Amino acid sequence: MNPILKNAKYCISLMAVLSLFTNCETEVNYKNYQPNYLSSIDATNLPAGNKPMTLFEDNEDPALMYNKKDRWFRVNEPLQVILKGKDSVQVSLYSPVALTDVNVYAKLPNYENKFVLFHFSKIPAFHRSVHQIPLVVGKNDYLLENGKTLTIDKIEGFSSGSIEFSVTSTDPLFAKFKKIKSNHLVQFHDGYHINEYGKYLPMNPVLAKEAITMIINYSYALSHPLYYQTFTNFDKYKQEQSTLAGTAINGALNWHGNTDDLNGVYDYYTKEEIEKIYWNYLDSRTVYLAMVGGGSAWGGGPLASQWESDYITGHWLGEMSIWSHEYSHHIGFSHSSNLANSGEGGGQQEMLTHFYKYLIYLNDLPFIDPEILKGWTKTAYLNKKDYKKPVFKISPNNPFLLKYKGEGKWN
């Protein structure tokens, strides 16, 4: 049934859920009608009965962190809203920084417009709480995207697919999240250290928070227009590097695959293949984050691992070479490809690291300040006890700094 508009009030019948939007107000009543919207929620101050929790508390049982049915998020959606049971939503924020002014919209079948289900004035970092859907409680007014009012009668409950959620926010941090083009699904996996203890070690919530912070930043960097431009024109990047250095181009001229080099003969990718590879880095595959225990970091299949030191201090300094290397193994590249190494006069390890440092210099990542986590201070949970606060400094020879001279921020 199509919605009927009368004096900016909507009447709708939702046959799929056998519930009715309320009847439209009459001409006389509507003149004096004042919408009764739900009050804003400050998730830092919820009623005790709500039982909110902080994800990845330093001292929480790591078994919770490794529960892949409960702890997961997509890098472009750190604020996760999912249906819980038939009458509630679970809100989880996988971010080391709070979000403010958040609207959670609902979309119902047979009605084209979304409406505000909840407004959160603030959601704390690594927050989770469950909220009853007001639609199941009784008749209420809701704000549409176009600023008009919708009144909906009570609906008994929802099943999967019968209600959809989306999120908006005026918070500048949320704007950065929305720019991330990757939708990799991130989880932690205890199978690596259980099956190969020593080669891998158990992670804990302190490291998990650092890993989440890092992979959101990394996904933002991969999605950045400057990185796309450089990645898809790597031959030009190498030419510019050699010109600045006053040397000939060393090694491969462009991106190449996993076939071993035969006396300078490489299996170069075409421009079309390079474009496709770039988007493979930003797809929807699952990434399992793990911690290195032995002498080498490892990646491949869903795995991408990192040392404790790189989780705690390295990524704040822009030292992303190892992560880029293991992530490229995760994408499918071997040591023979310059997409997974820094050999042959410079590959993606080197380029990504330079670029990531340039973004820190520009203050153009979602998270810049290591003080938000203070991981280096949490010695009770670390193997090494003498980490220092990471203090970033960019090299004056950084190729992106030399080329863009402080320009290129993703506005």
CA 198, 203, 208 angle in degrees (round to 5)?
A: 150
The 10s digit of each residue's pLDDT in 320-346 is: 999 999 999 999 999 999 999 877 667
State residue 31's pLDDT score: 56
Q: Please say whether the dihedral angle defined by the alpha carbons of residues 256, 320, 288 and 99, taken in this order, is positive or negative.
A: negative
Q: What is the pTM of this model?
A: 0.91
- The dihedral through the CA atoms of 366, 303, 268, 245 has a sign that is positive
Residues of the chain with pLDDT > 90, as a percent, come to 81
Residues 252/258, Cβ–Cβ less than 8 Å: no
pLDDT digits (tens, 9 = 90+) for 305-326: 999 999 999 999 999 999 999 9
How far is residue 291's CA from residue 202's CA, in Å, rounded to a whole number?
7
In angstroms, rounded to a whole number, what is the distance separating the alpha carbons of residues 77 and 65? Answer: 18
Residue 403 or 264, more confident: 403
| 65 neighbors 178 (Cβ within 8 angstroms) | no
**Of how many residues is the chain composed?**
411
Position 21 scores a pLDDT of: 46
pLDDT-based confidence at 249, cuts 50/70/90?
A: confident
**Cβ pair 123, 176 in contact under 8 A:** no
pLDDT of residue 285: 94
Alpha helices in 314-398 (DSSP H): 321-331, 348-362
Which H or E element spans position 272? Answer: helix 271-280
Using alpha carbons, list the distances in angstroms from residue 230 to 55, 219, 239, 290, 355.
37, 16, 12, 29, 9
With a cut of 50, say whether residue 269 has pLDDT above it: yes
